[in-house]
Amino acid sequence: MSLDTMQSNLFSDALEQSYRVQIEEFEGPLDLLLHLIKKNELDIYNIPIAAITRQYLEYMELMKELNLDIAGEFLVMAATLLQIKSRMLLPATQEEDGEAEVEDPRAELVRRLLEYQRYRDASQLLSARNLLGRDVFARSFDSPELAAMEPQEEPADVELFELIEAFQRVLARVSVDTFHDVVADGISIADRIGEVLSVLHAEKTVCFDALFTVGMTRDLLVVTFLSILELAKMKLIRVTQVESLGSIWLTLSADQQEAGPEQQGGEQEVGDLNSLETAEDAVVG
């Protein structure tokens, strides 16, 4: 299959699909590439483009299966990776003096990744500073002994792609028998959001895995996962992790904790939940 055909198929597939959750409101294609580089412990200056392209396309397929809205930026990056891959397979071109041209086809991508990584790190640092005094309060120490104690590590917000990988592990844990010959649950994302919020108001903090139990149908598993994404997008919950590959925890936002269970969400959030009711048939295939 030619590069042009593969690029055309990627764009055609996107146009033919109907999705639910807007991915660009979470993270973009450069975030996914940085995640894959970190996950595989790769040298950003020497990216194995064939392996990264394969994993990137696998992620795109998984996001499509989960009815996640793949923004055009993801498709453009997929085409870019395929183009770089094809260029690296070509023999080096000869310059006029007879020497081979040594420009690395990955150079521009590496430059973009490094520039974006610096921007993202600075943005996260500023966000952490803004958090102090709003959701996290500096503690005053009354004695030298307390002052000398190391502060407890603040949980880090979980990236979208880490959450997708956690859901992959959930699917592997749940029996495949639940995926066949089952009666549809008939529960909407809005309904499931309400249930998750009720659990969080009662428990305060809930482990991600605890919301997925053996015996749940595929429909309910997917709806539960999409509900968590919607809650995070509406900033009604925080999704955090203390250590890499550790348990993922869901916690109500500070505003939701103050509101209490009788005032779940707000006017804007209620409107967002109501809008989900209009196209629930496209949530699961």
pLDDT 10s digits, 104-120: 999 999 999 999 999 98
pLDDT 10s digits, 219-257: 899 999 999 999 999 999 999 988 777 889 999 988 777
Is pLDDT at 60 greater than 80 in this prediction? yes
pTM of whole model > 0.85?
Answer: no
112 to 25, 31, 88, 109, 160: CA distances (angstroms): 20, 11, 18, 5, 20
% residues pLDDT > 70 (the chain): 64
**In the predicted model, what is the mean pLDDT of residues 23-31?**
78
Is pLDDT at 103 greater than 50 in this prediction? yes
Give the residue with greater pLDDT, 66 vs 33: 33
pLDDT 10s digits, 269-283: 545 555 555 445 444
- Spell 167-204 as b/e; 16+ CB within 10 A means b: beebeeebeeebeeeeeebebbbbbbbeebbeebbeee
**In the predicted model, what is the mean pLDDT of residues 61-65?**
86
Q: How confident is the model at residue 214 (pLDDT cuts 50, 70, 90)?
A: confident
Domain boundaries, given as residue ranges, for the chain: 3-91+104-123, 156-280
Give the tokens for residue 66. 């989960």
CATH for the 156-280 domain, from 2.40.128.720, 3.30.450.20, 1.10.10.580, 3.40.50.300? 1.10.10.580
